[in-house]
Structure 1
């Protein structure tokens, strides 16, 4: 999915969210960075199962995050992909993203071993494109 940006905009910030209320801080940071750099931002969520409506509670949180992003001047996208880091990296490349904002994983080291990490593979995929990744605690 390719977003349409204003001509001449050099700063494009992608904010990666999950269906958690704590992601509000990520959306706020994305809006702040866009304002600081006179750029634009988008908020993205990767749905691995292609079934966004499976959990109404999660859906409500995503809707709240998306509405917040739009009120702050951002765009929103729901992406579908089996490997989150690859899906995010491809979206960033297709949309000339200059910065990515992600939240630090709350997974334990054991969970990371079992299920994998998203942030480190994402950083490796986008570093060759000189995309800055900011990890928010």
Structure 2
């Protein structure tokens, strides 16, 4: 893989997405590239999975802005195809995603999206932080 220039961070409806944006910004800074934060909502669903969409969109906008990222929020019938199209449009070299809860290869978004993209597009998976158990 070539040195990343353009980084795409795929976010969901969770406020924990800030860790993904932060990681994308770290990578962007290391490679002097551009950062694109993307949220694609399935047609018919609330944009961010909440009835308070305005608050959720404002939160996402503020977090993206604070890290110097371009924010794109769209609705689509085919989320993967839309992500592919956005990756091509912005000449994305590296995609940052949160750790998937899907164990199986055929249901994993990285596998599905990877099959649609250029071979030289890389992925960085940000693990879910483990909460410490207080005894």
What TM bracket, shorter-length normalisation?
0.7 to 0.9
Tell me if structure 2 keeps the 8 A contact 1:43–1:66: no
Distance 1:59 1:108 in 2: 33
Structure 1 position 87, deviation (Å): 1.2
Correspondent of 1:25 among 3, 14, 19 = 19
Which residue of 2 is the match for residue 11 of structure 1? 5
Q: Once superposed, what is the RMSD of the aligned Cα atoms?
A: 2.5
Q: 1:98 to 1:45 in 2, by over 3 A?
A: same
Which residue of 1 is the match for residue 90 of structure 2? 95
Tell me if structure 2 keeps the 8 A contact 1:19–1:59: no
TM-score by length of 1: 0.76
Tell me if structure 2 keeps the 8 A contact 1:84–1:118: no
Which residue of 2 is the match for residue 133 of structure 1? 123
Structure 1 position 127, deviation (Å): 4.0
TM-score by length of 2: 0.77
Tell me if structure 1 keeps the 8 A contact 2:13–2:48: no
5+ residue gaps, structure 1: 1-9
Tell me if structure 1 keeps the 8 A contact 2:97–2:125: yes
| Correspondence list, 1:1-137, <5 A | 11-49=5-43, 51-52=46-47, 55-57=50-52, 59-107=54-102, 116-128=107-119, 130-137=120-127
| Aligned residue pairs, count | 123
5+ residue gaps, structure 2: 128-135
Distance 1:107 1:26 in 2: 18
Q: 1:53 to 1:27 in 2, by over 3 A?
A: closer
User: Whose helix fraction is larger, Structure 1's or Structure 2's?
Assistant: 1
Tell me if structure 1 keeps the 8 A contact 2:13–2:49: no
Q: 1:94 to 1:103 in 2, by over 3 A?
A: same
